[in-house]
Structure 1
Amino acid sequence: MLSLTLDNPPRTVQRRPRPWALAMVIVLAGLAAWLATRTHIVDLGNEQQLNNSGLLQAWKNGAVLVMIRHAERCDSAPGPCLDDSTGITVAGSQAAARVGQGLQRLGLAEADMLDSPKLRTRQTAHYLLGQEAESAQWLETCDAQFPSEALAHKRAGHNLVLVTHNGCIDHFARQQGVPGGERESGYASALFVSVDGNGKARILGRMNEPQWQRVLASTAN
């Protein structure tokens, strides 16, 4: 019987990782780390998300900064104007009043209120608050300094209501790491932010104008 003896058995070849595969792993790891830093805006019109956000308790503690975009502009809507063409529409004034009812239910006794000097924001503030608010130029400028200005005006134990513009709210959301597709604010929508004792901000979520009836119902008792 013939037997064969292999003096040199085949060696296992160890393959080195290909450069492109290693690069892909690095890219994916970097992407995952970047996504982890993104802040997504919660829809506070959803009752469960509203309750989970902690907004109602934070508001009671005077720890909330809320930025509200002006109501529907007269110069970009088909409806009748309230009066001046640079202001808001009649429908916009009614929407602002509805949002104001929600704010009143949350409680404005200890809140500070500021608006942009633009007519559309001053009119919105009037219908929101039922009174004139103090105007501040930085609420119209809407530059990269807006987030720090907003936080600097937030007093401990006092909620701060800012009636401003989409561009200003965008700057704040951008600084908080919100992706571009989520930074757009609708007319009379409100972006709620909690501010802790060290001045650190955390976005709680957004409430659009038609959703404020849910706030009224949630705070009825």
Structure 2
Amino acid sequence: MLTSSKRNSVQENHQHHDLIQSDFLDSYRNLTIKTMVMLEWLAAHCTNAAYVLKIDSVMLVHVPNLVKLLLDPGTAEQNYMTGLVRWHSPVMRDPSNKFYLPTDIIAVPEYPPFPLGRGYVMSLDLPGKILQVSTQIKPIFIEDAYLGMCLKLLGISPTNPPENTMFIVDPVHPLSTCSLSKVIAVTTTSIPQMTGYWETSRGPDAEC
């Protein structure tokens, strides 16, 4: 018997033919596998695109603001990755911590810089480059930190967005109209909240 989630996926794919599936267990510990599958698909099928946005389902995306960022002359067209970048993020050594990793898995005390996995943008030259160097790096289950490790091997650093209000992972709700007018991606707590924020962001008063 299909679960409601699987049933919805079957219906979605039957109607829109827009789901990509791979042969692995979809679990938190396998997020890095999921991310690498995504990069493989992008490298194989999206060579004519310029950028890709990776986003979690809990995130509201303000598409006009995203397009504005990507069309800005100051936005790099290659070796570009942005989002809410974590700099000098320590490797967790406490076994009780959800993100614990022992020194035999990763010896350095902190991760290279990486954008948090809830939402980030990358130029489409990066998937192939990341895949190429990934064979030289022992994978870890923290997928966004793993991408940062791959970027470091490539000699590439992620870029902070022009404004720190563009990617908000831990917002204080409710968000103001001013905040919604600047955001590209923001975490929401429910579908009604996401819908409400989207409607507000499109309204005539959606500005500071």
For Structure 1 versus Structure 2, the TM-score category normalised by the shorter chain is: under 0.3
Larger Rg: 1
**TM-score when scaled to structure 1?**
0.27
